[in-house]
A and B are shown apart, each in its own frame.
Chain A
Amino acid sequence: MNTLQEFFQTSPVPPNTLAQGLWWIIGLPLLGAFVCGVFGKKLGRANVSLVASAAVGGSLLISLLAFWAVNDVRTAATSAYAALRTPYTLAVDSGTWFAVGDFRVNFGLQVDHLTAILLLVITGVGFLIHVYSAEYMSHDDGYWRYFAYLNLFVAMMLTLVMADSLVLLFVGWEGVGLCSYLLIGFWYSDAAKAWAGRKAFITNRIGDFAFLIAAFLLVTLVAAFESQATRANFGFPGGSPTTFSRGLDAQGPLHFEALKTFSRALVTNPTPGGAVAAVTPDTPIATGPLKDFTYGGVLTAVLLLFLLGASGKSAQLPLYVWLPDAMAGPTPVSALIHAATMVTAGVYLFCRLNFLLVFSPVAMGTVAVVGALTALIAALIAFAQDDIKKVLAYSTVSQLGLMFMAVGMGVFWAAIFHLVTHAFFKACLFLGAGSVMHGNADETDIKRLGGVGREMKWTAATFGVATLAITGVLPLSGFFSKDAILHGIHQTELFGLPWVGPLVLRLGQLVAVCTAFYMTRLFVLTFWGERSPEARAARAHESGATMVGPLVVLAVLSVVALVYGLNLINGQPVMENFLGPVFEPARRVVSALGTVRVEHGPIGVGGYAQAWALALLGAGAACFLYLRFYPTRAGQQAPAAVAAVRRFTQNKFYVDELYELLFIKPLKALSFVLYKVVDALLIDTVAVRGTAWVTTRVGAALRYVQTGNAQAYAAVMALALVGGVAYVIVRFLTP
């Protein structure tokens, strides 16, 4: 065992050498995108898919090395903000992007355990999906365009997770949104699909707007702190005000190390006997635009804004509406972008900023409640969807809600664990759905499928495994990750908000039942039973090896990922131990401020049994209803009340219509009215043409003055003279 540990803790490439090569992880897919986009038409189909897959494959190899290297004990990055070395982190700083005044952003990457895990997910799942796409998209004219976009997406997603500052993260953040826009609207000739892309982009932009404001507030906050903090704030090893300021000059205020040092300095308790009062979260800000707000208060606002930003990208309430429509894109895209990677960016953001989030129980509670409500609502909507991809889309929204719950309760490692397992089984489900569509003449309505399992054995088997995983049946990874979340929530209490934990826990359990129900329904209706008479293709055909291969790999991964959940290292689950260094700063803040109370304890057998019972309850109900109950009542009219509920759910609770009515219509009307009334009428007609009209009239009137009559002129002159003289006399006579 020790030899094994040593083997994994010794990177084959020296960490410093590898750090210099980190750009290649992004660079390869970027290069691939360029080649496919510019020369794609000339290269031909096979070459394009080869180039694109190879680019991501290359990234995967370097990512593996990076993953290996972050476990190396020699690996450490120097912090510019304190005389410290951050262990288990690869970092590279390639100089200025832009620097103006006090602000600076560098092109810098960093890979720690959190990033390393996500690198593997992105490049691994990404690679499989590229391979799958080679066959899936083989008949499409826009083949080269597709692979260029997909490679660009991978590059942007990698930028997002490897960025060492919020600004560079935002580049990836917007970049993935851009690629998502292009890929959702990939078949742009269909106006509805292009609209869906636009809807996704604009909804995301609402989140980005909040993200930007949060970032600007952080800049002002750090600046205020820099001027106000005392030496007492930097009472940790290596900390000092001058080092901090020097770091800000060198790498800017939005570098994650800067924020980390800031968070650490904000909770440093003054050393006993030290006379200088330190700045604490309750200190009012002394200077700048945020004067008189407290540091903690502004941080809460910042985090809530980040929540809005994250809810745009990660499809949470109130901005989740774009994700179901995003299914207009090709199915592998849905698997990669709208299930495995991009939509988890919000979870990643909060995990990255863990040391800020734990400052504010209010923000944490809001994140958790938003996540729980989203999870529940999406799960309920998924009950009544008949489109195979729509069910999976709502399921994604729901599962992301679970991750947000975990993040909100401070169980960061469980959120990431679920992120990973979800990436595997949900990608498998989406690709399986794609395979089903491929084999059934692009049919997506599960009511018109049925019995597909007989013809598509591999697809059915892998889909089955993934369904079991998401349902949370015992020996699969989904069980461990979901239970880690629920168990973590059970053990946690937010300061001042004791009701959040139990509420979220109950909602989470309810969601678990719902998930089991709708996933079982999906599986049963698609793969079991008789073939629907309305089916487009009489017989389904199994997809080729390049499509089935990734399915099998993903199905295997969704089983073996359970290793992360086993208590193998120091009595902790592997994932928790692994991510320990990443969430250490948060733990420090928590222990200083007491914002979160955690009771540690292993999951008992009772807990496992409860979770399993919940999963079986949902699955059993679905099996009963769709295998026994409904088939016997085919042709009978459903009761009116049931039909009404069903219609209400099927129409997604009319949320889209509500938004249309509340926001979009008024905005359009406002712009139209402003255009017609203010611009065209008031400014242009009344003011501008009015001035012209008055000028013309006055000119016309004055024309009569210019008569050419010498006597009249003389009379005016005389009058003016008299008037002038009178004025002078009056002026001088009056004292």
Chain B
Amino acid sequence: MSFLDTHLLSFIVFLPLVFAGVLAMLPREEHGELRVFSLIAMLTGAALGVYAYLRFDPAGPEFQLLYRARWFDEAGISYHVGVDGIAVSLLMLTAFLGPLVVLASWSFVTERVKEFHIALLVLQTMMLGAVVSLDLLLFYVFFEGMLIPMYLLVGVWGSEDRQMAATKFFVYTLGGSLLMLIALLGVYFIAMPAGSRTFDYATVYNAFLSANRELGACRGDPAACATLSPLAVTLRTWGPWMFGACVLAYAIKVPMFPVHTWLPDAHVQAPVAGSIILAGVMLKMGTFGFWRFAFPLFPAATQEFRVALAAISVVGIVYGALMCLAQRDVKKLIAYSSVSHLGFCMLGMLALTVEGATGSAYQMLNHGVSTGALFLLFGFLYERRHTRLMSDYGGIARVMPLFTAAFLVATFSSIAVPPTNGFVGEFLVLLGTFKSDLSLVLAVLASTGVILGAAYMLWMVQKVFFGQVTHGENQGLKDLGGREVLTALPFVALVLVMGLRPQPFLERLEPSARRLVARANVARPGAASPDAELLISALPLPPAGGTVAKSPEAPPRLPLRPARLATPPSSPSGAPEGVRVAPASP
């Protein structure tokens, strides 16, 4: 295994930060230079991201490209990174959006250009870091670290009411994540006996597994509750609280109804770059949190509250769509549509079927592309007219035909018209929900999102693009320029590629989804997944003395594939492999 492979994730994560440091030393008046420089940084990141995505072996072990180094031994914190299918997908999405965000802000941001790009690059590091972390505290650091540059993006480069929106965003999310910190500390203290306490995700998960199994048995048969192990007893009492704290933190980030009200304000006030990142990546940190931490670590609580959470997601889908119908402000409408779309993501995950979870993960990527494109394109229009009200537009299609065509493609992706990417995701989510043991009523209600989505998006399109040009200012608007076309084109291409050839993306997500479902179903009476499918194999701590863990020979391959897909996973040589950390004895 080459040096590049072991350090690939670290490169990807910290490259923007390094560039930010260099950027800080460049002269502040050289706007063009600053922009080109950060574009190069982002492009390099994107290239590395694509490389990592291709390097990731869908049939290989769960976590790949692993790297672990000692950090705070005393507190059981290590620098441990690695990606599974969903993480590498979100990683690529983030890396892909990076250069486009810089391009989108090319002429949008004219004040404090240097600081703006530094904030963007730092933000990029934080988001990428959160996705690859395999250490609870490392994740927390990145998760919180995201807030600061985002707060600045909204608060400094935002629109008229930016201070309010930035503060609201910051306090809202911080409130949630502090609760999460308490939950993570709780996990730290109960997972392992004193002396070997650790924040390592794999160790903690493996330590919880048998206790969670006991809780599952206890849920099915009260007699089994009498013989719980000490850890299971603790988890039974405190698990729901820790789960609740995590849920609140992630639900705010997603955002789920009713803790979504920061999102419209933040989106409306944010500059175009902020909106794209917020919608494209940051909201997914919430769903990713559920996927990585809340469901696998607390499967008993997950089973307990699953129906309620699914109901809230469905409320989010319908409620978000209804909110869209009441908006006059385009950006606010797109923001509320995110609430609706993320409701689909949550529902698919909560269905706990492979179809639903895979669809949910795919929908996360799709939402990044389609809503990112909508915010990007509307940003172009806003730059020309400086108004967000639908009533200030009308007849734009005649003035800006190219722009309209791109916007329509993004719209149809957003309302899931086949063969765009949105269709595949939404179809899988709904299919998974119908196949799950959630009630059919919920599934049918969720499906009404199909109608409402078309209603509000086409209403907005109608108001903005069709009809006569009623405002004189709109008469002379210029159509998209070369740089703008270049920015919009990747989005349009991806909408079609992900719609027509979804399989390469799905095959990376499916094994992850399968494991998520198996892990969340551990606490279901009669769950049959053997430990081998559930335990997380990861690197052990490297020996003291500063050297890094070397990967020994490949461990026995986990049976990833379902029996029906009969093809045996091909065995790629040289794929990064991990060593399983033995589950702690209670």
Contacts and interface: CB of A to CB of B under 8 A. Distances in A.
Contacts of B437: 289
Contacts of A220: 434-435
B502 A683 contact: no
Contacts of A668: 325-326
Nearest to A101: B354
A624 to B, nearest CB: 45
B322 A674 contact: yes
B200 to A, nearest CB: 31
Contact of A98 (B354, B451, B455, B502): B502
B397 interface: yes
A98 B447 contact: no
Interface stretch (A166-174, A411-419, A567-575): A166-174
Contacts of B271: none
A322 interface: no
A96 interface: yes
Contact of A667 (B325, B354, B454): B325
B168 A688 contact: yes
A188 B466 contact: yes
B207 interface: no
Interface string B311-325: 000000001001111
Contact of B462 (A170, A195, A692): A195
A98 B505 CA distance: 10
A417 B147 CA distance: 65
A198 B462 contact: yes
A194 B460 CA distance: 12
A167 to B, nearest CB: 7
B94 to A, nearest CB: 23
Contact of A219 (B418, B434, B462): B434
B51 interface: no
Interface string A178-217: 1001000100111100110010011001101100110011
Interface in B527-586: 562, 564-566
Give the bracket for the number of chain B residues in contact with chain A: 35 or more
B450 interface: yes
Contacts of A219: 431, 434-435
Contacts of B465: 188
Given A189-B395, A670-B322, A679-B261, A97 B450 contact: no
Nearest to B322: A671
A100 B355 contact: yes
A223 interface: yes
A344 B109 CA distance: 52
Contacts of A206: 451
Contact of B418 (A103, A174, A674, A692): A174
Interface string B270-290: 000000000000000000000
A283 B21 CA distance: 70
Interface residues of A, number: 54
Interface stretch (B100-108, B119-127, B422-430): B422-430
B526 interface: no
Given A96-B503, A100-B358, A212 B454 contact: no
B440 interface: yes
Contacts of B434: 213, 216-217, 219-220, 289
Contacts of B562: 101
A387 interface: no
Nearest to B415: A205
Could you say which of B358, B419, B424 has the most chain A C-beta atoms within 10 Å of its C-beta? B419
Nearest to A188: B466
A693 to B, nearest CB: 13
B427 A223 contact: no
A609 interface: no
A170 B428 contact: no
Interface in B462-483: 462, 465-468
B398 interface: yes
A216 B431 contact: yes
A659 interface: no
A191 B466 contact: yes
A691 to B, nearest CB: 9
A455 interface: no
Contact of B319 (A195, A216, A674): A674
Given A202-B458, A219-B431, A209 B506 contact: no
Interface in B353-389: 353-355, 358-359
Interface in A144-171: 167, 170-171
Interface in A680-713: 683-684, 687-688, 692
A453 B465 CA distance: 41
A-B complex: 5 closest residue pairs judged by Cβ atoms: A101-B354, A194-B466, A191-B467, A216-B434, A675-B326
19 contacts: A97-B503, A98-B424, A98-B502, A99-B506, A100-B354, A102-B355, A102-B564, A103-B431, A171-B419, A188-B466, A201-B458, A209-B447, A212-B430, A213-B434, A289-B440, A668-B325, A672-B325, A683-B258, A688-B172
Interface of A: 96-103, 167, 170-171, 174-175, 178, 181, 185, 188-191, 194-195, 198, 201-202, 205-206, 208-209, 212-213, 216-217, 219-220, 223, 249, 288-289, 667-668, 670-672, 674-676, 678-679, 683-684, 687-688, 692
